[in-house]
Structure 1
Amino acid sequence: MKLDDIDRKILRLLQENGRMTNVELSRQVGISAPPCLRRVRALEENGYIEGYHAQLNAAELGFGLTVFAMVGLHSQAEADLKSFEDLVRGWPMVRECHMLNGEIDFMLKIVARDLNEFQTFLTSRLTPAPNVASVKTALTIRSAKSEPGVPFGLPEKRGG
């Protein structure tokens, strides 16, 4: 599926407000509702839209601690990498997991209620996990920006 300007506008608008009705979306995009809905469904089916989520306030819900953990593994064989990723998927406190290039194998974003809850997770789950060689952590002081999605404001890359 090749994206045109209307598809990109649909994606930008839904990224800003995933609760927007199809009628409002079609009005802002400048097409009627039925073709707009067909485009949204095609964007979903082709994997451009992976889901719709509410952005929650972690602190208001009692999750006042965000920690980034840099994890080094003993083995970087593909089976061992996948095994670690599968393990991480089962840990609800880990909200993001990224495999990195360089000295660190994985960067985890961990959300906890408090330092005690995080320390328990660190010492009972993460550090003793199979194949984990090292864990370095950084506790956040504050967050100046947390914006999911992609930067639609950037100029498009042309040619190749």
Structure 2
Amino acid sequence: MLARLDAIDRKILAELQEDGRITNVELARRVGISAPPCLRRVRALEDAGYIRGYRALLDEKRLGYEITIFALVHLSSQADADLTAFEAFVRAQPLVRECWMLSGEVDFILKCVAPDLKTFQAFVNELTGAPHVRNVKTSLTLRVSKDAPSVPMERLPAAL
């Protein structure tokens, strides 16, 4: 396990965020070390949990998911068993892409995609009947102003 991220580790993480398909040889060149220690460092970063995985970022609209909606969900109970039941329901819903538990007035915010409003409305009907749901408020997105799935490497605390 890594005790601390040094400058090379930070460069490796930044490069992999930009291009997860980069070859180890090219990655090593960009961060200024040879390929074998670069590969060891990447594996150590993976083992330590800094790198959770690799995936392709797909364009949902090109794949037929024309609308993105945020749903604010307020539950009637915040007991652990009730939160767990709602979270299990959400994990089983393919239209839900993200689910975040919040503090404050709203218990959860869901980011959802759907091919059309009819499909989404059917999902909302199911969502309002989910365990312990008091009410649901939805907002259709009009456009994306920023979509940055990466961690801001330039702002990492020095203590890491």
Q: With the length of structure 1 as denominator, give the TM-score of the two structures.
A: 0.94
Q: Matched residues in 2 for 1:9 and 1:117: separation?
A: 43
Partner of 2:157: 157
- Post-superposition CA distance 1:21-45 (Å, at most 9, x none): 1111011011111111111111111
State the match for 1:107 in structure 2: 109
For residues 132-159 of structure 1, what are the alpha-carbon distances to aligned partners after superposition, in whole Å with 9 as ceiling and x for unaligned? 11100000011111110211133x4357
Aligned length: 157
- Superposed counterparts of 1:18-37, under 5 Å: 18-37=20-39
Counterpart code for 2:90: V
Gaps of 5+ in 2: none
Distance 1:103 1:64 in 2: 29
Point out 4+ residue stretches in structure 1 off by more than 2 angstroms. Answer: 156-159
How far residue 114 of structure 1 moved from its aligned partner, in angstroms, is 0.8
For the residue of structure 2 that corresponds to 1:153, the secondary structure is: helix
Q: Is the 8 A contact 2:16 2:22 kept in 1?
A: yes
Amino acid at match of 1:41: R
TM-score, normalised on structure 2?
0.94
Aligned to 2:127: 126
Q: Percent identity?
A: 60
Aligned counterparts of 1:30 and 1:119: Cα–Cα separation in 2 = 53
